[in-house]
Amino acid sequence: MRDGFQRRFMPLNAALKSFDSRARHCASYILTLYLMAQQSTPQGRGWKIGIAVLAVAVALFFLLRYEFRSTVGVTVATVGYQDIRSVVSTNGIVEPINDYQAHAPAPGVVNKIFVHVGDKVAQGQEIIQMDDVDARDRVATAQATLTSAEATLKNMQNGGTHDELLTTRTDLTNAQTQQTQAAAALASLQALQAKGAASANEVESAQQKLQSAQNRVVDLKTRKTGRYGSTDFSAQEAQVSNAREGVVAAQSALAGVDIHSPLSGTVYYAPVSQYDYVPGGKPLLYIADLTKLRVRAYFDEPDIGKLSVGQPVTIVWGAKPNRVWHGHIQQAPTTVIEYGTRNVGECVITIDDANGDLLPNTNVTVTVTTQQKAHVLSIPREALHTEGQYDYVYKIVRGHLQKTPVQVGVLNLTLVEVTSGLNDGDTVVLAPTNGEDELTDGLEVKAQP
């Protein structure tokens, strides 16, 4: 009968295979007694006896497990001195510090390109030439506009055009002749009136003719010297000024058809080809000093507080995975911005060893060393346990675990600096070799390879 019950509960026995053989055999025997008791006692009190037997079995089971359990295998590490570096990484975009972008000064045709991507250029070197036909036409038109405006202002200052001055001079001469004749006629009539040979009406009519001639002379003289007022002069002077600015702009555009580089550098982008028609302002060539570059990097918000000016940085570009550039933080983040779906701080990093093999506008990975200590007492990160603000490790003392409080300093993903609680050469536990075992204070352990 016992053998039959054991066959029915073979899966349960198999579950106990990780325990010591003596504890496993005893626990299996107690469970068999429990099942036999249920079958051999009356139905009314069988379940009570069964529960009592089961309770005793469980207690005895755990007691035997503790008494007869095997030594727990663990992986260990030796406390020692190492260099520790704490870092944060993110993405960034390379940009030149000294950059020149040549743009089309006006709509036109690209007449000639003197350089190509990758070429090095000197300051002042001609790099591209635009067709100058339209530019020369604009200079001629602007110059004609200026000449006309200046001539009009000069005529206004002289009292009118040459024809207008001749007409006014002729009219003034005639008016002065009429004035002289009217004055002589009046004098003659006044003499006759004194002799009684002329009436008062005749004298009065002669006086009116003289006054009209005098008014005519005054009017013509005024027209010659004061034909235009201050408002007229101001308006015309403004037209002259605008025309001069137009000439300067047109001449500048003409000079701009021959484009020269204002700096020494390397051509790194050329979006146009010879004989292309381009609108005004279109980019033609990009030139930069590729030995003076920086990275605009974007760090997630939790990492911003770790950054400060001067911290060392390494830069890696996926196109050249075996090449590493070095730099330092020039400007730490000053605010948090949205960058896609992330809240980030923008950081400017100066590259210290750029030599022309890193290109602008490339996406790179930057790693900032936020803390670094040399030759400090340290342990692997997996040896450290934390409960709230309490840090501890399991140190092996005479083959048993000793739960040991520690104080830590710099840490990274693999190492932790220990400032107190351990000594050089101590052995700490990383983890049990059997994932089902639990580390406890006082547990007997054995280091496994």
pLDDT tens per residue, range 64-117: 555 545 688 999 999 999 999 999 999 999 999 999 999 998 888 999 999 999
Q: Within a domain: residue 273?
A: yes
Lowest-pLDDT range of 20-24, 137-141, 158-162, 445-449? 20-24
List the end-to-end C-alpha distance of the chain, in Å, as a whole number. Answer: 47
What pLDDT does residue 163 have?
66
Lowest-pLDDT range of 4-18, 140-154, 186-200, 272-286? 4-18
The H-or-E segment that residue 388 falls in is none
Pick the most confident of 171-175, 202-206, 387-391.
387-391
Q: CATH number for the domain including 262?
A: 2.40.50.100
CB atoms within 10 A of CB 438: 9
Residues 121 and 265 in one domain: yes
What pLDDT does residue 21 have?
43
Q: Within a domain: residue 362?
A: no
Residues 244 and 280 in one domain: no
Q: Within a domain: residue 167?
A: yes
Residues 109 and 205 in one domain: no
Lowest-pLDDT range of 39-48, 143-152, 393-402, 437-446? 39-48
Lowest-pLDDT range of 28-37, 123-132, 182-191? 28-37
What pLDDT does residue 43 have?
53
What pLDDT does residue 223 have?
67
Residues 403 and 441 in one domain: yes
Categorize the per-residue pLDDT at 284 as very low, low, confident or very high, splitting at 50, 70 and 90: very high
d(CA 396, CA 442): 9
Residues 216 and 278 in one domain: no
Residues 78 and 117 in one domain: no
Q: Within a domain: residue 228?
A: yes
Residues 243 and 273 in one domain: no
d(CA 213, CA 185): 12
Mean of pLDDT values over 104-132? 91
* Cα-based angle 339, 343, 345 (whole degrees, multiple of 5): 85
- Indicate the angle between helix axes 200-225 and 162-194, nearest 10 degrees: 160
What pLDDT does residue 272 have?
94
Categorize the per-residue pLDDT at 300 as very low, low, confident or very high, splitting at 50, 70 and 90: very high
Domain that holds residue 214: 141-251
Tell me which of 433 and 52 has the higher pLDDT: 433
What pLDDT does residue 340 have?
84
Whether pTM exceeds 0.75: no
Residues 42 and 25 in one domain: yes
C-alpha radius of gyration, the chain, whole number: 52
Pick the most confident of 2-6, 177-181, 403-407, 440-444.
403-407
Beta bridge partners of 373: 84
Ramachandran region of residue 137, left (φ > 0), alpha (ψ -120 to 50) or beta? alpha
Residues 10 and 34 in one domain: yes
Residues 178 and 243 in one domain: yes
Q: Decide: helix, strand or coil at residue 408.
A: strand
Write down which residue in 242, 267, 287 finishes a domain. 287
Residues 123 and 171 in one domain: no
How high is the mean pLDDT of the chain?
83
d(CA 384, CA 428): 9
What pLDDT does residue 58 have?
62
Q: Within a domain: residue 435?
A: yes
Q: Within a domain: residue 403?
A: yes
Smallest CA-to-CA distance from 293 within 312, 265, 257, 252 is with 265
| Residues 240, 150 contacting (CB under 8 angstroms) | yes
- Tally of structural domains, the chain: 4
Residues 64 and 76 in one domain: no
